[in-house]
Amino acid sequence: MKTIKLTILALLLSGFANSQDTLQQMISGDNYLIFDNQLTKIVTQTNELDKGDYKNITIKISQDQYLQLGLYDNCKKCLNKKIKFRNIVFKTIENKKYIQKIRSDDNFILVDGSEIKEITVLKPDNEYYNYKTQ
């Protein structure tokens, strides 16, 4: 009886684990990287060498996804090593927006798509009032 309960619990947990898709992405200086979970390699990247051409980066998250976002502004190829924080705008599934200042020298954040449907990582010199909140 105990074995049956443990087997059912293990099946339920593995079902829940596989039902959530994880997005793995990283912002390193002005380089935006997207990783493939299955192949564990970089699929897309904007700049291999940091040119200091920062842009706001918006990432959409489905309700069945988690976003694992790496912030690494202290990389070897990063031009501006003084960047320690990034402002991130979170847009909830109710379309409410709020901003958080998050450490970006070497940090990972996790975002649950069942609560947040979109985030925008603002370029380092961009304050929230310069960001268009449509």
Return per-residue pLDDT of the chain as tens, 134 residues.
545 544 554 555 445 544 568 888 888 888 888 888 776 777 777 776 666 678 899 999 999 999 999 998 877 777 777 788 999 999 999 999 999 999 988 889 999 999 999 999 998 875 544 445 44
- Whether 123 is in a domain gets the answer yes
The model's pTM: 0.74
- Whether 65 is in a domain gets the answer yes
- Whether 49 is in a domain gets the answer yes
- Whether 46 is in a domain gets the answer yes
Beta strand 97-103 with 41-45 is unpaired
- Whether 30 is in a domain gets the answer yes
Q: How far apart are CA 70 and CA 28, in angstroms?
A: 8
H and E: helices and strands count for the chain: 1, 9
Q: How many CA atoms lie within 13 A of 91 on its CB side?
A: 15
Residue 48 confidence (pLDDT): 62
- Whether 1 is in a domain gets the answer no
Q: What's the domain count of the chain?
A: 1
- Whether 56 is in a domain gets the answer yes
- Whether 99 is in a domain gets the answer yes
DSSP 11-54: HHHHHHHHHSEEEEEEEETTEEEEEETTTTEEEEES-SS--S--
Q: How far apart are CA 73 and CA 54, in angstroms?
A: 11
Domain that holds residue 93: 21-130
Q: How far apart are CA 64 and CA 22, in angstroms?
A: 9
